[in-house]
Every structure is written in C-alpha cells, then in structure tokens.
Amino acid sequence: MRTVETIPPSFPEVEMNKLLGWNAGERWQVVCGDAGHWRVGIYSPGESSPADIAELEKHNIPEFFLLLSGRMSLLLSEGGNLHELALEIGKPTLISAPHCGFCPDGPHTGTALVVERDAFSTECRKPQEW
C-alpha cells in the first residue's frame, strides 16, 4: 500500500477566458482549478483490460467522471468484490470506491473529464488487496 497527498495549489496557472490545451495520449492531466476548492483534469488510461491494472486508488473524497469520447470502464472494488462500470458518453458518475480505468479498445482510446477537490489523500493498493 502507498499513500499520496495532493495539496493546493494542485493545478497549473492558466490564462482566463482562453481555450485550455491538453495532450492526447497522456494518462492524467490536470487542466485548471480553483484553489482550495476543485480541480479539473483529462483522464485517458493506458490499460486495456482489468488484467492490466496494477493498483486501484481510493481518495478520501468522491470524484466526478464524465466520458467525453471513446470507450472507458472503471474497475471498482465494493464490499471486497471487483466489478466493472462501463462509462457512457454524456452520462456522469460520482465515484467513491477504489478504482482504476481502462480503455477496452486500446491504450488512451477513451477520454474522460474528471473533477475532484484541490486537496485530498489517496490510498493505492493492488486490486486483490481491497
């Protein structure tokens, strides 16, 4: 098990009232935020199946996911059982369980918008350890 602490400010400075950029093919990119409140990022995992997932992460706060393009599922652990949640474009979800995403059509073929707080802690463990 490992623990990661995210502390503010946990996002880049951006120019207001301008389009923000991000790089396709990267796993996680924090795009912007509001210090002490929230941050927004683009998530596109490189894993293609649950078998590729080395660890699940659990934050002490919930995370908002909204699939923007492609296909992506989250591997979740609830009550000691692993199961998959297939995200749907335009249908948001709020995740509090240990989780990790994968793109069944290949690495970085799905892209989701993620909103989380600006400060939180994350516990990471192997899927079978949850």
pLDDT digits (tens), the chain, 130 positions: 899 999 888 899 999 999 999 999 999 999 999 999 999 999 999 999 999 999 999 999 999 999 999 999 999 999 999 999 999 999 999 999 999 999 999 999 999 999 999 999 999 999 999 9
Sequence ranges of the domains in the chain:
2-12+27-125
Residue 32 CB neighbour total at 10 angstroms: 14
DSSP state of 89: B
- 20 CB-near residues (< 8 Å, 6+ apart): 14, 31, 32
What's the whole-model pTM score? 0.93
Tokens of 83: 């199961």
User: CA-based angle 46:106:43, to the nearest 5?
Assistant: 40
CATH 2.60.120.10 fits 2-12+27-125, yes or no: yes
Classify 111 as helix, strand or coil: strand
Host H or E run for residue 48: none
